[in-house]
Amino acid sequence: MAVKGAVLGDILGSQYEFDRPKNLDWKNVPLISDFPLGFTDDTVMTLAIKKAIVEGADLVETMVEIGRKYPYCGYGGRFFGWINEDDHSPYNSWGNGSAMRTSFIGEHYDDYEEMQRMAEKAAAVSHNHPEGIKGAVVTSTCIWMARHGKSKQEIYDYVLEQYPKEEYEYSIAYSLDEIRPRYKWNESCQGSVPAAMRCFYESTDYESFMRNIFSLECDSDTFGAIAGGVAEEFYGGFGNVDAEGILKKYLDEELLRILNY
């Protein structure tokens, strides 16, 4: 269930989004540290999109309805306005918010073209810049590929095609060892999606995927939400990570209900 992988990635990643220690022992640190953690806007919008799709409801109306219930969950400034003001027009954003909310789309749709169309639609309601749309489509497609038995190499090749080394600073072509010394916190789709997918590519299970995220000074909750669904689908679960316990502990009743639809 990719959406659980994304929500779990958001929760676990949230502890280091802004307060990651410089000398973090990312290979050995407990998955849950003493730093504050919990769900963020990534989870709220992921589940809003799931609710809209499952119920056949209007996408924008549902995102606004659910989003307004959680006003302090970490929205970016422009998206906060999109949620809370009367004008819900798209604003040409390339931010990674379009990619972090599409995991259910890759999980839900069996038809490849329908999945990609829905990912584009879910992005374009706010993030209608080409890079914002690409980020959402690539994220959903990687989840779809993992769910349909594609190999890790096939997923890598697809992401590389979308984010070639010659054009993107953090292309999936770069190893994490190459990225770590030069990565700077980045809220764009183009600076987040390929690097998050590299964290998946170099992983061996869900836990090692999260530890790869911890190794970067990045928008870690959003990295978790973007590629967490890919990791969960590809590995067929969470291994030794107590996903159900963590989700029950950190989600409120309404969000947990939508998650378990």
43-100 pLDDT tens trace: 999 999 999 999 999 999 999 999 999 999 999 999 999 999 999 999 999 999 999 9
Lookup result for tokens 């027009």: 89
| Integer angstrom CA distances of residue 162 from 88, 131, 145 | 29, 10, 15
Q: How many angstroms separate the CA atoms of 191 and 179, rounded?
A: 11
What's the pLDDT score for residue 231? 98
Chain mean pLDDT for the chain: 97
Q: Rg of the chain over CA atoms, in angstroms?
A: 16
pLDDT per residue as tens digits for the range 211-222: 999 999 999 999
What's the pLDDT score for residue 1? 87
Q: How many angstroms separate the CA atoms of 87 and 113, rounded?
A: 30
- pTM assigned to the model: 0.97
More confident residue, 22 or 153: 153
Chain centroid offset of residue 5 CA: 9
pLDDT per residue as tens digits for the range 188-208: 999 999 999 999 999 999 999
pLDDT per residue as tens digits for the range 13-33: 999 988 899 899 999 999 999
Tokens of 183: 């990565």
Residue 194 is which amino acid?
Answer: P
The answer regarding whether domain 2-16+37-259 maps to CATH 1.10.4080.10 reads yes
Q: Would you kindly state where each structural domain of the chain is located, as residue ranges?
A: 2-16+37-259
